């Protein structure tokens, strides 16, 4: 009786493992939306209690984050403008449509940053370096806790606000329209 139970157990175990491995071979790519909030800020002698709300779009393969994009606009009255240098703020003020981008790619061969950059340019944006803003953002405890140092951070600028949306389309994933 003991050897029959052992054989039955082994057969059930093998069937179970076969079932699990066939499930893990299924590819599931998804695009999910959410928000990430950076709470409060500090710059030189200034402190403020205000939230910076970043729209977040994540491209995942099964449970693995393949590409992550966060985007925000900072209104003129926001205290987060203290994070910009004067020259950065001058550049931002020339834009009719300005956004801050944080982008992360797990595997730059699967979804390289160039795919995002091409689509940003097609929507009429140009990239803007934000050296001072980046320093302040990455020094924030929320950014440090979330490992945002792994992300690329820069601005994108269009001379005017257009009805033309930013359309993001990565191979193997459904298209995402960002307004």
Question: 79: exposed, middle or buried (C-beta count within 10 Å: 0-12, 13-18, 19+)?
Answer: middle
Model confidence pLDDT, tens digit, residues 120-145: 999 999 999 999 999 999 999 988 88
The Cα–Cα gap between 70 and 118 comes to 17
Structural contact between residues 31 and 46, judged by C-beta atoms closer than 8 angstroms = no
Q: Kindly tell me the sign of the dihedral angle through the C-alpha atoms of 154, 157, 162, 168.
A: negative
pLDDT tens for residues 22-61?
444 446 899 999 999 999 999 989 999 999 999 999 999 8
Query: What single DSSP character describes residue 93?
Result: H
């Amino acid at each position: 009786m003991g050897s029959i139970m052992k054989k039955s157990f082994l057969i059930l175990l093998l069937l179970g493992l076969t079932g699990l491995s066939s499930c893990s071979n299924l590819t599931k790519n998804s695009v999910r939306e959410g928000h990430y909030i950076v709470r409060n800020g500090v710059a030189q002698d200034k402190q403020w209690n205000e939230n910076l709300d970043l729209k977040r779009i994540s491209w995942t393969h099964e449970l693995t984050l393949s590409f992550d994009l966060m985007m925000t606009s900072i209104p003129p009255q926001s205290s987060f403008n203290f994070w910009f240098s004067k020259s950065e703020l001058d550049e931002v003020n020339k834009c009719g449509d300005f956004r801050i981008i944080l982008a992360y790619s797990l595997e730059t061969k699967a979804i390289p940053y160039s795919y995002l950059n091409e689509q940003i340019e097609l929507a009429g944006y140009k990239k803007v370096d934000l050296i001072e803003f980046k320093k302040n953002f990455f020094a924030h405890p929320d950014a440090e806790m979330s490992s945002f140092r792994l992300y690329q951070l820069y601005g994108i600028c269009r001379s005017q606000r257009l009805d033309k949306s930013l359309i993001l389309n990565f191979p193997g994933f459904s298209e995402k329209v960002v307004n």
